[in-house]
Each structure stands twice: as C-alpha cells, then as structure tokens.
Amino acid sequence: QVQLVESGGGLVQPGGSLRLSCAASRISFSIYHMLWYRQAPGKQRELVASIPSDGSTYYVNFAKGRFTISRDNAKNTVYLQMNSLKPEDTAVYFCNARYSSHNYWGQGTQVTVSS
C-alpha cells in the first residue's frame, strides 16, 4: 500500500520558518511528480509548489521567494522549506504524488503561524 507521510508542521511565530517533509513508500518515487498543497479552514485546497521528476520547480505567487520545494530521490522524500511565515500561511499542508493515472495523498500536517 502506497504511503505518503508528512511531518514537520507545528506552531511558529510570524516571520519564522518550518521545514516540511513527505516520505513516500511503495512507489517508484523518482518518476513521480511531487506537489505540496494546503487547505486553510473554510477554504478550498490550493497548490503551493511542485517538483516534477526532472527536478524543475514551480511555485504559486504567494510561495515565490519564501518557500522552497526540493526532493531527495535516494530518501524517497520531498521537502518544503517555508521562511518568512505569515498568519495567512496557517493551514493543513498535504503532500501529493502523481504519475500517469496514479494519484496519492498524504494525511496532512498542521502549520499554525501565530504570535
């Protein structure tokens, strides 16, 4: 059974940083397009950043300059480094793995930005 397990969330003050990790198992990780989404209370899930198998990166506007997505194929893990966090970044962050018709989600990790 495919598993995506996120970790690294927590409570951080505005301006702080967090590094999220998503460890994948039972997939050929290196060929998968890996994405980070987030969902704030009462809002729809939205894309944050993505990194295809070729290692290129894409960020939505609110993530540009503050967030960095990366992957370590040897560890089957994708990361999201988040800096200069704002209260509006508060959300559950989800890892997503896609390849062809395969589409898998993690259970999410809570990020709360508050003083």
pLDDT digit string, tens, across residues 24-54: 999 999 999 999 999 999 999 999 999 999 9
- CB–CB of 68/61 below 8 Å? no
DSSP single-letter state for residue 87: G
- Give the pLDDT confidence score for residue 78 in this predicted structure: 98
Residue 112 pairs in a beta bridge with: 11
How far CA 55 is from CA of 51, 70, 80, 86, 100, in Å, comes to 6, 8, 14, 27, 17
How far CA 70 is from CA of 40, 56, 113, 115, in Å, comes to 23, 9, 22, 28
Q: What is the pLDDT of residues 66-94, one digit of tens each?
A: 999 999 999 999 999 999 999 999 999 99
Burial class (CB in 10 A: 0-12, 13-18, 19+), 2: exposed
Q: CA 36, 40, 45, 46 torsion: positive or negative?
A: negative
